[in-house]
Amino acid sequence: MDFTSVVAKKDTSSGTALLLGRYEVGKLLGHGTFAKVYYARNVKTDESVAIKVLNKEKILKCGLMAQIKREIAILRRVRHPNIVQLFEVMATKTKIYFVMEYVHGGQLFQKVAKGRLKEDAARKYFQQLISAVEFCHARGVYHRDLKPENLLLDENGNLKISDFGLSTVSDQIRQDGLFHTFCGTPAYVAPEVLGRKGYDAAKVDIWSCGVILFVLMAGYLPFHDHNIMAMYKKICKGEFRCPKWFSPDLIRLLTKLLDTHPKKRITISEIMENRWFKKGFKHIKFYIEDNKYCSIEDGDHDVGSSSDHSTYSESGAEFETRKKVASLPRPASLNAFDIISFSPGFNLSGLFEEGEEGSRFVSGAPVSRIISKLEEIAKLVSFTVRKKDCRVNLEGSREGAKGPLAVATEIFELTPSLVVVEVKKKGGDRGEYEEFCNKELKPGIENLTREQSPEPEPAPAPADADKSYAISDTEEN
């Protein structure tokens, strides 16, 4: 990574170049399509941070700048001990920098991968998760991609929610009172999202929390199948079995969390009154001072009016801000190694895996229209079309390095209004296959799904969208 364009000065004691004159950048922690994350140290405070570096050219080219601005606006709303904190956002002509809280304990997923958790440990993490989700919902923010991979652990073993790349706000609700963007991670997505008829984002988050609780206690997913279409059908039907070590109280709670009817699904307030959930739950209050979260024990006196504090009761999502001279801390940040691309109709990265020899995508278009589109694409490149039921094979006539290119597509119905199309290379050179998919197949299908899909949700820009990316100290209401 070349930091020369933004180095303001050098640390004379060590000769190390400083990013923007404040951060000593260390090892690479991870990377994704649009971002790289580095460990860094604030030379003034000696605090460890994580700095996510985004390539502005790539962001602009892919039309994701509005998404970045939306993430900033969302993160300014959610400052909570169980959410990864964002300290500041800065930008140069070529890069955008997210300076984030450095979380030492890794992903909760890594802990679960070693085996299921004991009930008390799972309950503690679930309590912290629900407390943070309750706070987000009270602030009009919905995560929409909750899963163990997006839950981090600090050095004290406390949970921290990260990766708000798919989050949304209540301002984006349609006139019917619902959200319509199809997003999430397959195994954790709620059944109503699959129906593409609109959904309550709060209930979608609750469903994901239910899947997470099951995974923590069982060590495996409640809805699992190697065939993704079969897994989605299980989700739509709510088919899952609890292992014998689950207590009756836990089973009853999971049944309410994973109710396929959103209106019947348990609410956050009802979860917090549930007998299994309440066991050992501590009603913690906290205030924010000097960019740090400080707990307040029951019975403590008023923290005082001479300094600026923000207080929040975990039990009731009560958030009180007291005016003061000092500035509020900057918000929590997503600690992710990638920014998921939002495409109105063709979203591979956020929904399905793309393997070495093929990929899958979703569409709301009729099967007949998809087949017609595949025939149109084949005609443009002089490919032969062979059809049988919902299978369409496209075969090239030109001999390549490994023979003529052959592409097989198969359409599966997931719901009456949603299909999954699987694309695989059956013959020919890999490079030719990728070129055909990128230049012909994907653009053609993308245009088709855009024609069939509803208008995407507008992404609200923060008040200072056209100004510097440095976050001000005034909280956005």
Residues with a known catalytic role = 145
What is the secondary structure of 34-53 as a DSSP string?
Answer: SEEEEEEEETTT--EEEEEE
Angle at 237 between CA 232 and CA 238, to 5 degrees: 90
Contact 367, 380 (CB under 8 A): no
Strand partners, 342: none
- Amino acid, res. 229: M
DSSP conformation class of 340 = -
- Among residues 409, 415, 410, which one has the least CA distance to residue 395? 409
Indicate the angle between helix axes 248-257 and 201-218, nearest 10 degrees: 150
Q: Alpha-carbon distance 32 to 420, whole Å?
A: 26
Q: Alpha-carbon distance 222 to 240, whole Å?
A: 5
| Residue 52 marked as a ligand binder | yes
Within 107-212, strands assigned E span 141-142, 151-153, 159-161, 168-169
C-alpha pair distances (Å), 328 with each of 137, 295, 335: 21, 16, 21
Contacts of 107 (CB under 8 A, 6+ apart): 148, 149, 151, 152, 153
Read off the tokens for 364.
Answer: 């709301």
Sign of CA dihedral 409, 413, 416, 417: negative
Contacts of 150 (CB under 8 A, 6+ apart): 143, 161, 162, 163, 336
H/E element holding 415?
strand 403-415
- Among residues 274, 217, 262, which one has the least CA distance to residue 240? 217
Contact 35, 338 (CB under 8 A): yes
Contact 391, 458 (CB under 8 A): no
Q: Alpha-carbon distance 251 to 237, whole Å?
A: 17
Q: What is the longest distance spanned by two Cα atoms in the chain?
A: 81
What is the C-alpha radius of gyration for the chain, rounded to an integer number of angstroms?
A: 24
Q: Alpha-carbon distance 44 to 37, whole Å?
A: 21
DSSP conformation class of 276 = H
Specify binding-site residues for ATP: 52
Binding residues: 52
